[in-house]
């Protein structure tokens, strides 16, 4: 039944039934977690051959002894892997440590403390701000919040951020110094930016503060669940618009090999890379080149990137199907929520009826199912509609995910019916 067409007495009955079911589940003392987008143990096993692959042969093809210090930009064979992920020339890539988030943090610090490519440091501005397409990745927002950089939420549609809104802010406010973008299989909505959006973003450099930078976090560049969606090249678009300095691209092997011990990449113009290196040189003598060589050998001797990602997809696909089936079976045509069917990435983004997300997350927690806190996908943890919940299906085994999802949909039903009942009572 559609929730809006239920009468008050039907809602009362419905609430009673759902409550009984919910109380029964609470007695099972479950302990399930669908909070963060971590690869499962089965996925991690796919890359276990990394261990021992060097067999004491530490020399890279270019003669570098990877055990020693040095090489700020990373091994050339590792940079080539980053170039493959980001579809850019190897010379424009720096291969770093295990986390692209760390590189993003350093890039924000570089802009904030020193300025990129000779531009005024952001800290010299009155109120430096990033544009944040929402819902988005909470850890991007945490970086800004920690450094005292302001954030403006921008609606994210099916083809990318609302560009009218982005352009208006950039044109009218010289203190806009960046925008966070997850252009392919976005975290959490799973959408991929369309060509027009990529082109309009590439034109921002013509109207923005010269220190403005697009943080192009392509974390899910090769993480397809089926046929790949083509993302237009932001590099090519900036070359056409003479705005190459306006973009920094990021990727990593975190969800390709071992999440905690992969390689991260940043790709940018030489002026931007020089600024970033200058900042990073003060804190490191170079990245872990031994690990970089392990990765390079893995993708030449054991598998190809494409073949490897197919294996991930075959593990992930049934989990996404499980989530979508639960949503459709329990909530389809109910008016209790809305969701997208992602074609890649790590998440399913679910929108409850406005005002219900916190209640759903709370009910699920009490029933032993941990969800990402409501609001986490918005700057300052503030979802003005209290509606968005990020579901991360990758980590738990399928049976646990199945149980967690049956609890989740029940909590959505219960919170929705209780809210609707309260609305009816208030109106009468
Ligand atoms: N960017 C996005 C959009 C992500 O979803 C994640 C992981 N959840 C990261 C970056 C983190 O990547 P890394 O492990 O390379 O730091």
The pLDDT tens digits of the residues spanning 273-302 come to 999 999 999 999 999 999 999 999 999 999
**Sign of the C-alpha dihedral computed for residues 232, 236, 240 and 242 taken in this order:** positive
Per-residue model confidence (pLDDT) at position 32 = 94
Ligand 1 atom 4, closest CA: 219
Q: Whose CA is nearest to atom 6 of ligand 1?
A: 219
**Rounded Cα–Cα distance for residues 25 and 332 (Å):** 22
Residue pair 144/130 in contact (Cβ under 8 Å)? The answer is yes
Could you tell me the pTM of the whole model? 0.97
User: pLDDT tens across 194-223, in order?
Assistant: 999 999 999 999 999 999 999 999 999 999
Q: Does 291 contact ligand 1 (Cβ within 6 A)?
A: no
d(CA 153, CA 174): 17
pLDDT digits (tens, 9 = 90+) for 217-243: 999 999 999 999 999 999 999 999 999
Spacing, Cα 69 to ligand 1 middle (Å): 27
- Give residue-wise pLDDT tens across range 65-122: 999 999 999 999 999 999 999 999 999 999 999 999 999 999 999 999 999 999 999 9
> Does ligand 1 come within 6 angstroms of the Cβ of 217?
yes
CA of 352 to the centre of ligand 1 (A): 25
Summary mean pLDDT of the chain = 97
Mean pLDDT of 127-155: 98
User: In which band, very low, low, confident or very high, does the pLDDT at 428 lie, cut at 50, 70 and 90?
Assistant: confident
Does the pLDDT value for residue 36 go beyond 90? Answer: no
Percent of the chain having pLDDT more than 90? 99
Average pLDDT on 53-61 reads 97
Summarised one tens digit per residue, pLDDT across range 294-348 is: 999 999 999 999 999 999 999 999 999 999 999 999 999 999 999 999 999 999 9
Structure tokens given for 179? 């925008």
Q: Which of 100, 142, 249, 349 to mutate to test the pocket of ligand 1 (most atoms within 8 A of CB)?
A: 100
Say yes or no: CB of residue 163 within 6 Å of ligand 1.
no
Q: Within 13 Å of residue 62, how many CA atoms lie on the same side as its CB?
A: 13
Q: What is the pLDDT of residues 367-384, one digit of tens each?
A: 999 999 999 999 999 999
Distance 219 CA to ligand 1 centre (A): 6
* pLDDT band with cut points at 50, 70 and 90 for residue 123: very high
Ligand 1 in reach of 101 Cβ (< 6 A): yes
Domains in the chain, please, with CATH? 3-43+307-427 (3.90.1150.10), 61-302 (3.40.640.10)
Mutate to test the pocket of ligand 1, among 156, 185, 217 (most ligand atoms within 8 A of CB): 217
Tally Cβ neighbours within 10 Å of residue 283: 7
Which of 173, 162, 249, 172 is closest to 214 using CA atoms?
A: 249
Query: Which of 43, 85, 137, 395 has most ligand 1 atoms within 8 Å of its beta carbon, as the pocket-test mutant?
Result: 137
pLDDT at 7 > cutoff 90: yes
């Amino acid at each position: 039944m559609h929730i809006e067409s239920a009468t008050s007495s039907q809602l009362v009955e419905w609430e009673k039934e759902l409550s009984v079911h919910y109380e029964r589940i609470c007695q099972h003392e479950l302990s399930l977690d669908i909070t963060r987008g971590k690869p499962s143990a089965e996925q991690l096993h796919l890359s276990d051959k990394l261990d021992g692959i060097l067999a004491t042969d530490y020399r890279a093809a270019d003669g570098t002894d990877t055990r020693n210090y040095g090489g700020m930009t990373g091994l050339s064979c590792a940079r080539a892997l980053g170039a493959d992920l980001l579809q850019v020339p190897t010379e424009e890539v720096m291969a770093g440590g295990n986390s692209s988030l760390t590189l993003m943090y350093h890039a924000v610090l570089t802009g904030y403390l020193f300025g990129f490519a000779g531009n005024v440091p952001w800290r010299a501005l009155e109120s430096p701000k990033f544009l944040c397409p929402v819902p988005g990745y909470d850890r991007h927002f945490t970086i800004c919040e920690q450094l005292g950089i302001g954030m403006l939420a921008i609606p994210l549609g099916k083809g990318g951020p609302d560009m009218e809104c982005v352009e208006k802010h950039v044109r009218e406010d010289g203190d806009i110094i960046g925008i966070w973008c997850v252009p392919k299989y976005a975290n959490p909505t799973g959408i991929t930016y369309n060509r027009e959006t990529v082109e309009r973003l590439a034109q921002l450099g013509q109207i923005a503060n010269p220190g403005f930078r697009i943080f192009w976090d392509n974390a899910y560049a090769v993480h397809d669940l089926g046929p790949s969606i083509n993302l237009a090249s932001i590099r090519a678009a900036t070359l056409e618009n003479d705005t190459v300095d306006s973009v920094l691209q990021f990727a990593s092997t975190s969800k390709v090999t071992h999440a905690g011990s992969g390689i991260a990449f940043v790709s940018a113009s030489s002026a931007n890379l020089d600024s970033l290196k200058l900042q990073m040189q003060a804190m490191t003598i170079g990245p872990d080149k031994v690990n970089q060589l392990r990765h390079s050998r893995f993708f030449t001797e054991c598998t190809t990137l494409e073949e490897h990602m197919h294996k991930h997809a075959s593990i992930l696909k049934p989990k996404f199907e499980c989530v979508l089936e639960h949503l459709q079976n329990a909530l389809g045509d109910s008016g209790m929520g809305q969701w997208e069917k992602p074609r890649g990435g790590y998440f399913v983004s679910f929108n409850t009826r406005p005002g219900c997300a916190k209640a759903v997350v709370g009910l699920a927690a009490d029933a032993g199912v941990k969800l990402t806190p409501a609001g986490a996908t918005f700057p300052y943890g503030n979802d003005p509609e209290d509606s968005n919940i990020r579901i991360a299906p990758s980590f738990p085994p399928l049976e646990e995910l199945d149980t967690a999802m049956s609890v989740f949909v029940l909590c959505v039903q219960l919170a929705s019916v209780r809210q609707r009942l309260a609305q009816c009572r208030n109106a009468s």
